[in-house]
Amino acid sequence: MSFAISCYPPNFVYRKASPTSMSTKNNTPAILQIIPELETGGAEQTTIDIGRAIAASGWVSFVASEGGRMVGALEASGTTHVQMSAASKNPVKILLNAFRLADLIKKHKISLIHARSRAPAWSALIAAKLTGIAFVTTYHGAYSQKSWFKGLYNSSMTRSDIVIANSKWTEDLINSRTAGISEKIRVVHRGTDFSAFDTGSVPKSRITKLRNDWSVDENQPVLLNLARLTNWKGQHTLIDALPAVLEEFPDIILVLAGDDQGRSAYRSELESKARSHGIAESVRLPGHCDDPAAACAAASLVVVASTEPEAFGRAAVEAQALEKPVIVTDIGAVGETVLAPPQVEDNQRTGWKTPPGDVRAMTRAILAVLRLDEPVRNTITRRARNHVEANFSLELMCNRTLDIYRALLK
């Protein structure tokens, strides 16, 4: 159900999740998150998870965004969606959004606004100043900063009362760029719902459906990369490594599961590279995957091949939760999510690491994992499950985030 507010243009629409979600009686805290869109991604899923935690705590939850395929899941969590041009980087629209947010804050007695991206953070900052409410930001990515102007644009993320960093690596990055704010940074790792990412919770029917969608036989090994199709996610490294892997494991299928988000030229480049290697029949590009748990469960090995730093690395955590072997490139926050020598002893290993973009090292790592005896592999993957369950749970993320809200609302 949707209804528009007459003083706003058609792109500013409330979507009502439930009658109770609109109530702010009895001084119940109301939290407004703002994110560019709800199409796909870790920041978007975190927004939904926190919205659910807000509602479950008896508070009122709102999210403002341009919408997307995840809006239904958001509304099902007990959150009211407010559709607006939250992704726009146009300064005029950013200012207009600020005034619209301020009106929303006053109308529904919003207690705190939480921005999860840079352009919306500017609107949220202005709205918070206009209304005097608490302001929180979350650094979900590394955010390129190669010029003074880009630094100014990024600074919206550090002008809040509290800055949440999604990893220790991200915290260090923020401190390296902005002096004097270390006391207001809080590290809250991305949380995973381990009841959904559990070997016993993914029915065979879902795995079979995905394998059918991918045109992969039941017994064929799958090398999975679960990431949107963009150059820095390193899909080209895996295609370049695959010919040598096929020499020893001729039945293996490389599945590059991710949305190209309009990058059709990059998708075509990957397909052309596979053809030039003569391995096109061993590569699948199925597009967006809306069942990552089943995808990981269907895989023999999950690889995060990024050539630029991951601020967290959700796919590696989810794969470890499902007790699947994981290879990651040794860059960004993966040192916190995947343990491997020389960071730890070999008997503490939860996965494997390779230098970013190093095709030979990636090939060696893939072959080393595929050659493992089953008892050795199982020991490592069970250790990985214990590691992520202890440090990266959804419950831990939600509790820490709500504790930050409570401290600001005292």
pLDDT per position as a tens digit, 339-376: 999 999 999 999 999 999 999 999 999 999 999 999 99
Q: In a 3-state reduction of DSSP, which class is residue 123?
A: helix
Provide mean pLDDT across the span 304-327: 93
Percent of the chain with pLDDT over 90: 82
Q: How far is CA 166 from CA 137, 139, 220, 292, 347, in A?
A: 11, 6, 36, 20, 27
How many residues belong to the chain? 410
Residue-level pLDDT at 143? 86
Assess if residue 197 is contained within a domain: no
Domain check: are 103 and 176 in the same one?
Answer: yes
Domain check: are 30 and 169 in the same one?
Answer: yes
- Residue 4: band (very low, low, confident or very high) from pLDDT cuts 50, 70, 90: very low
Assess if residue 199 is contained within a domain: no
Whether the Cβ atoms of residue 178 and residue 305 lie closer than 8 Å to each other: no
The domain total for the chain is: 2
Residue-level pLDDT at 261? 82
Identify the bridge partners of residue 226 per DSSP, sorted by sequence position.
257
Domain check: are 24 and 79 in the same one?
Answer: yes
Assess if residue 238 is contained within a domain: yes
Assess if residue 198 is contained within a domain: no
Give residue-wise pLDDT tens across range 234-246.
999 999 999 999 9
Residue-level pLDDT at 335? 80
Domain check: are 222 and 261 in the same one?
Answer: yes
Residue-level pLDDT at 146? 86
Asked if the model's pLDDT at residue 22 lies above 80, the reply is no
Domain check: are 154 and 301 in the same one?
Answer: no
What mean pLDDT, rounded, does the chain reach? 91
Assess if residue 196 is contained within a domain: no
Nearest to residue 12, comparing CAs of 75, 104, 114, 129? 104
Asked if the model's pLDDT at residue 318 lies above 70, the reply is yes
- Residue 221: band (very low, low, confident or very high) from pLDDT cuts 50, 70, 90: very high
Rounded CA-CA distance 58/49 in Å is 15
Which CATH number covers residue 77?
3.40.50.2000
Radius of gyration of the chain, Cα coordinates, nearest whole angstrom: 22
Kind and range of the H or E element at 394?
A: helix 394-409
Residue-level pLDDT at 6? 31
Asked if the model's pLDDT at residue 20 lies above 60, the reply is no
Domain check: are 235 and 87 in the same one?
Answer: no
Q: How far is CA 320 from CA 85, 129, 227, 406, in A?
A: 37, 42, 16, 32
- 219 vs 33: which has the higher pLDDT: 33
Assess if residue 123 is contained within a domain: yes
- Residue 12: band (very low, low, confident or very high) from pLDDT cuts 50, 70, 90: very low
Domain check: are 92 and 184 in the same one?
Answer: yes
- In this structure, the strands spanning 13-15 and 80-83 are antiparallel
Residue with tokens 């002008």: 159
Domain check: are 236 and 332 in the same one?
Answer: yes
Domain check: are 38 and 152 in the same one?
Answer: yes
- Give alpha helix (H) positions in 249-373: 264-277, 292-298, 314-321, 334-337, 359-370
Domain check: are 211 and 185 in the same one?
Answer: no
In which order are the strands placed within the sheet that holds 283-284? 283-284, 253-257, 222-226, 301-304, 326-329, 352-354
Structural domain boundaries, residue 352: 204-391
b/e map 114-132, b = 16+ CB within 10 Å:
bbbbbbbbbbbbbbbeebe
- In this structure, the strands spanning 112-115 and 134-139 are parallel
Kind and range of the H or E element at 44?
A: helix 42-56
Asked if the model's pLDDT at residue 25 lies above 80, the reply is no
Domain check: are 136 and 220 in the same one?
Answer: no
Asked if the model's pLDDT at residue 61 lies above 60, the reply is yes
- 22 vs 382: which has the higher pLDDT: 382
What is the token pair recorded at 327? 């290879």
Domain check: are 249 and 161 in the same one?
Answer: no
Rounded CA-CA distance 101/109 in Å is 11
What is the token pair recorded at 407? 């401290």
Q: How far is CA 393 from CA 32, 68, 138, 167, 408, in A?
A: 23, 26, 18, 14, 23
- Give alpha helix (H) positions in 278-393: 292-298, 314-321, 334-337, 359-370, 374-391
- CA 58 centroid distance within chain: 26
Asked if the model's pLDDT at residue 5 lies above 80, the reply is no
Q: pTM higher than 0.85, yes or no?
A: no
Provide mean pLDDT across the span 247-258: 97
Give residue-wise pLDDT tens across range 139-175.
998 888 889 899 999 999 999 999 999 999 999 999 9
Cβ neighbours of residue 21 closer than 8 Å, sequence gap 6 or more: 55, 60, 61, 78, 79, 80
Give residue-wise pLDDT tens across range 268-302.
999 999 999 999 999 999 999 989 999 999 999 99
What is the token pair recorded at 204? 């065979």
- In this structure, the strands spanning 283-284 and 60-65 are unpaired
DSSP summary character for residue 184: G
Assess if residue 301 is contained within a domain: yes
